[in-house]
Amino acid sequence: MPEGPSVRKFHRLVSPFVGQQVVKTGGSSQKLCPADLQALWLQDTQVHGKKLFLRFDPDEESGPSGNNPLSEPLQKGARKEESRAQTWTLEPTGQKISNQSLKSTELVEGESSEFSGGAIAAENTERWLQVSFGLFGSIWMNEFSRAKKANKRGDWRDPVPRLVLYFGGGGFLAFYNCQMSWSSYPVVKPTTDILSEKFHREQALQALGQAQPVCYTLLDQRYFSGLGNIIKNEALYRAGIHPLSLGSLLSPSSLESLVAHVLKFSTDWLQGKFQGKQQHTQIYQKEQCPAGHQVMKEAFGPPGGFQRLTWWCPQCQPRLPPEEPEQV
């Protein structure tokens, strides 16, 4: 599923439509009738970790609440991009954003459920639509996703969006491979969001210090919301830590280095997205590390949990506690 930087980019695509009315809807959803969103006004949008929240209201208001979850340094780096996004809403071709190039191995529980919660209760004054993206989830603006290759049957069929929202300003948004559910308020906790300036480092360090492999803790959204498989692999390699090293055996300086690399890689990735640059990885999906050593790959995950493919260098990332020599 898309990681924090990708979802923040989706947030930037949606933001220009805040304050506009939905005039037409479409999509393949059978869990919720897309027509229920017709005539509603998009009043606000927020992001937390890997989730996007959209607030709809039946009446036009003076404007959104103005809550921008991006930290100030990232806002400055994104102003130029946001300005272009405002222009794209008037163009028929628009800008497309897809994470299909990010070949993450993460899964979403219950991905087959497109929507849940049914129609919006009429008495609710604030209506938040929570969007959780699947493995290749994406949002496209002012154009639809096109097939990049033939399917197993040899057909070139374009992906079908789960939801399409056409706005009064002339643009539209297409949501692909995602789960959606209604809630009365967005579930936002900046202290755990790796791209928030309010991220709580001490809380993260305490979680990493547990007597379990650090690669399990890094993917725990309770402590590192927005962190996914790509960030996990890159941060561990750059900190020189084996993915199965027990956090309780790592020194405080090693844990601090790991958190620092998580935040820096995530921030650099997001800023690169705003600038249209592809993020460079050193270990993820590589056969050799930058030092020229052969990279190992295996699926790791907690007992009974999801197993994520993990890339690491046995020489650059020694394991704690050490085991028998690893064979490449």
The one-character DSSP state at 288 is B
**Residue matched to tokens 């009738």:** 33
**E runs forming strands in 91-183:** 96-98, 115-116, 127-141, 163-167, 172-183
Question: Residue 182 corresponds to which tokens in the numbers above?
Answer: 């209604």
Q: For residues 311 and 8, what is the distance between their CA atoms, to the nearest angstrom? A: 25
Q: Could you give the C-alpha distances from 284 to 106, 157, 298, in angstroms and in order?
A: 13, 30, 12
CB atoms within 10 A of CB 10: 26
Q: Which of 244, 243, 249, 238 is nearest to 210 (CA)?
A: 249
Q: Where are the alpha helices (DSSP H) in the chain?
A: 4-14, 72-88, 201-208, 214-218, 229-239, 252-274
Whether the Cβ atoms of residue 78 and residue 126 lie closer than 8 Å to each other: no
Phi and psi at residue 156, to the nearest 5°: -95, 85
Q: Could you give the C-alpha distances from 299 to 15, 19, 63, 302, 309, in angstroms and in order?
A: 37, 44, 47, 10, 4
Active site residues: 2-3, 50, 308
Q: Which of 6, 47, 12 is nearest to 189 (CA)?
A: 47
Q: For residues 231 and 55, what is the distance between their CA atoms, to the nearest angstrom? A: 29
The residues facing 318 across adjacent strands are none
Q: For residues 323 and 328, what is the distance between their CA atoms, to the nearest angstrom? A: 14
Angle, alpha carbons 44-49-54 (nearest 5°)? 20
